[in-house]
Amino acid sequence: MPIVGVAEVVDREFDYIICGTAGLTLAARLSAAPDVTVLILEAGNPNLHDPAILVPAQYLRQLGDERYDWKFTTTEQPHCNNRQYVWPRGKGLGGSSATNFMAYIRPPVEDVDAWEKLGSPGWNWSNYLKYSKRGERFTEPTNDQTISHRHTFEQQYHGTNGELQVCFPSLISASEVPYHVAMNNLGIGTVKEPLGGNVNGTWMSAVTIDPKTLKRSYAVTSFLEPSLERNNLFVLTRATVERVLFQDSATSLGRSHLAANSVVFRRNGKSFEVTVVREVLLCAGTLKSPQILELSGIGSRQVLSPLGVQHHIPLEGVGQNVQEHVYFGISYEMDPAKEWHTLDKLKDKVWAAEQMRLFDSQQGIHTLGLAGFTFTPMQQVSPKASELISAQCETLEAAYVNGKISPALWEQYKIQMRVLQNASSVDMEWTTLPQFRTFRTQPEEEKQYMTVLVALNHPFSRGTIHIASKNPDEQPVMDPHYFEDDFDLQLLIEGFKFARKVAQTEPFKSCIVREVDPGLDVQTDEEIREYIIDGLMTAFHTVGSCSMLPRQMGGVVDPQLKVYGTQNVRVVDLSIVPLHIGAHTQATAYAIAEQAADIIRGVI
């Protein structure tokens, strides 16, 4: 059924109510059964058929634009000179799948298996791969792409019958391959198939782009639009979920659990209530799903009572265990004698208009996709690795013995320490971005740039996300606790140094004129530290605020994704991830939805 109005919703009851469009894949799977009804409530606009979303090279255009971006901000970060940081998130149907960089990357085997080791049977690499392949429709690269772009793959790790289009970009920056080869020349091997559970090395990423149209493939085009003609699927946009309402009931075991019977949402300043028959599924993402739980009276009494929220279920883990990938950039001016295919020239409105016309015939800069990624263990790139890792492990062990680390967090840290100590497990990431993406210096007109993004994958710092008031329109208090554990920052400093080493290695060395930001005046660890803090950015990969863990370990949902203390409320989004992964999170978000669909339908 096409997108509906309030009148078509409020007088009906629905088997499943999905709060947030991280749930579009889930909605498509559940509504495939004609005897159930599914309602999706999305707070943003539809944004259907929008070039700002569909044209691949427009992926940074939405950031900061309230039509597409919630424009969240963090609290002041005491370990970052009290800076506040912007946290962009996708606003509208499809959520952040409409605004991400389209990289399709699966995590290492051990990162997913860690979820099962932390107490969630069935959440392991074997199932992850099965469910990730289910929704994938992979198109092989051409022979020319394989030769010129170094696009490689192994068919066994790809699905071909799903809805999400996955391919290799038809156009990449001319700087990608030289950078890739420079990594090889420094001893970083090429990974033939990073989607197979090993990302240790350098490689060219697959992307979620339709190879026929060269447009973004995302949750709307892949899962929602093909399902809109179903008369049992209802989509209401500009509907902000206020809270879930419960009636008291009990399980057959006699333990008190709450059953959700309706969802209250606000639209155009008015509140409405809609009845649920089977389940409420929270899919509002890591930043908003804990807000809905807390506004519904589920969470810590210390958070809810001072704000006047009626407390229904004590669940201390709501909004805790927040983990985020962060990165910063090092920008380079490219040799002007060559065309590098960068996005900097889009500032020229005449040239940009011509490129948009070319895109209509699947040509030009707007077909450009991100490609170059390198993931390594710290030991491979830093001469200080052994010293830093030993010191970190000793510090954590002493803190645990002294009672400064809870037993629950200690179980996570033990896994993270094993990753650190394993010389084949990835800790560090470098991504190439074909444009100027730093903030210390203004780029010059007519020049071409490339930015190397240095990222943190397994942070030791843990943040929080909690409501600020009873008002669902007020942004939650988002405190990532950046660099509360200083090892996170030390790792990025070592990543900075290695990025500079790559820039001095051929053939990439001959591609660049100079390092623009931060510039060679930045040399000492303290100077590098300040540069990182000043230029730090979110990677949009926040996880953990509704962690899938045993309740006594701070869990919010069980392995069936059901919120503890409820009969029929589940969380299905990246907030359930209990321990962060060495990968970008798009593929993981889809895999979680696929596995959740089978859990809800009773298949597993």
Binding residues for FAD: 241
Q: Are strands 537-538 and 326-334 parallel, antiparallel or unpaired?
A: antiparallel
Sort 405 into a burial class: Cβ within 10 Å, 0-12 / 13-18 / 19+: middle
Tell me which residue of 205, 23, 197, 210 sits closest to 127, measured CA to CA. 197
Tell me which residue of 573, 578, 575 sits closest to 549, measured CA to CA. 578
Eight-state DSSP code of residue 22: G
Q: Which residues contact 132 (CB under 8 A, 6 or more apart)?
A: 106, 159, 587, 588, 590, 591, 594
Eight-state DSSP code of residue 96: G
Q: How far apart are CA 381 and CA 376, in angstroms?
A: 8
Q: How far apart are CA 135 and CA 441, in angstroms?
A: 42
3-state class of 347 per DSSP? helix
* Alpha helices (H) along 324-384: 349-359
What's the Rg (C-alpha) of the chain? 23
**H or E segment and range at residue 143:** helix 143-148
Residues that constitute the known binding site:
241
Q: How far apart are CA 489 and CA 193, in angstroms?
A: 30
Neighbours of 390 (CB within 10 A): 12
3-state class of 598 per DSSP? helix
541 counts as catalytic = yes
Range list of β-strands (E), 163-255: 164-166, 201-204, 206-207, 233-236, 240-250
**Options 158, 180, 580, 584, the catalytic residue:** 584
Per-residue b/e over 498-534, b at no fewer than 16 CB within 10 Å? bbbebbebeebeebbeebbbbeeebeeeeebbebbbb
CA–centroid distance for 358 within its chain: 31
Sort 83 into a burial class: Cβ within 10 Å, 0-12 / 13-18 / 19+: middle
Place of tokens 């509360």: 484
Q: How far apart are CA 517 and CA 437, in angstroms?
A: 9
Give yes or no for a contact between 320 and 59, defined as CB atoms under 8 angstroms apart: no
458 counts as catalytic = no
Sort 121 into a burial class: Cβ within 10 Å, 0-12 / 13-18 / 19+: exposed
Tell me which residue of 138, 175, 187 sits closest to 158, measured CA to CA. 138
Let me know the angle formed at the C-alpha of 337 by 336 and 339, rounded to the nearest 5 degrees.
80
**Options 151, 180, 481, 541, the catalytic residue:** 541
Catalytically active residues are 541, 584
